[in-house]
Structure formats: structure tokens, C-alpha cells
């Protein structure tokens, strides 16, 4: 069962504060079927490149939101980890559309992972 959205919201706000970010929205994707096994059975590349992926997004008005795939919300710890990763992309690089594929792959992605797991900011 998905953790209470209010708990996830407060985790998100804690992580926003840690990076001194504000005004970032949150979207929980919950496309049918609402079944973790369904998402877990999908290939990772599919998760990364379709509309169901967990990612930082920029809105028309230049504000940001982070959308979370149901898998990212499976437990509070998993959610916090995903939130740290996506918020670090915003903190460091702004929106990923501005970043080329190779920069994302070799610089921006690894930087977000270092922050996500080791709290290292590069």
C-alpha cells in the first residue's frame, strides 16, 4: 500500500528546505493498473523514457514540479531517496531539457546520485 500522501508531502518539504528550494510542486502519478508488480515488470529504459517516469519538470510559467511514479512512493525511504535525486537536478542544473544527453548521462545524473545516496554536492 502506498504511504499516506501527507507523509510524502512532508518528506518532500523537508528535502526542499535542505536544498533551500521553494515553490516546487509535486505530482503523484497513479496510472492504472494500481499494482506495483505491473511497474516492476517493466524494463528500466521504459520507466526512464516515458511519461510515467519520476522526474523534475518545468511548467510553462518556469516554475518546477516533480512527478513521482508509483514505484518511487512505495515506502517513505524510497520516496525520500527519489525526491533527493530529482530535487538535486533542479538545485544543480535547472530543468533537464536544457541539458544535452551526454551531459545528463555523465555529469548531471551521477551528481544527483552522489547527493541522493551520499549527501555530496558537486
Q: Least distance from C-beta 113 to Zn ion, angstroms?
A: 7
By beta-carbon proximity to Zn ion, the closer residue of 40 and 48 is 48
Q: How far is the CB of 56 from Zn ion (least distance, A)?
A: 8
Q: Nearest-CB residue to Zn ion?
A: 112
C-alpha cell at 99: 541539458
**Residue closer to Zn ion (CB basis): 7 or 105:** 105
Sheet containing 24-28: order of strands = 24-28, 64-68, 55-58
Residues numbered 23 to 42 that lie near Zn ion (CB under 5 A) are none
| Of residues 63-122, those binding Zn ion (CB under 5 A) | 109, 112
> Which residues of this protein are in contact with Zn ion, per CB under 5 A?
109, 112
Amino acid at each position: 500500500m502506498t504511504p499516506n500522501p501527507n507523509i510524502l508531502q512532508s518528506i518532500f518539504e523537508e528535502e526542499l528546505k535542505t536544498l533551500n528550494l521553494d515553490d516546487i510542486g509535486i505530482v503523484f502519478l497513479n496510472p492504472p493498473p494500481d499494482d506495483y508488480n505491473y511497474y516492476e515488470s517493466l524494463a528500466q529504459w521504459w520507466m526512464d523514457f516515458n511519461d510515467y517516469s519520476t522526474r523534475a519538470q518545468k511548467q510553462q510559467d518556469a516554475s518546477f514540479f516533480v512527478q513521482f511514479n508509483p514505484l518511487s512512493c512505495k515506502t517513505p525511504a524510497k520516496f525520500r531517496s527519489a525526491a533527493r535525486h530529482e530535487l538535486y537536478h533542479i538545485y544543480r542544473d535547472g530543468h533537464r531539457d536544457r541539458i544535452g544527453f551526454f551531459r545528463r548521462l555523465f555529469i548531471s545524473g551521477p551528481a544527483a546520485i552522489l547527493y541522493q545516496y551520499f549527501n555530496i554536492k558537486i
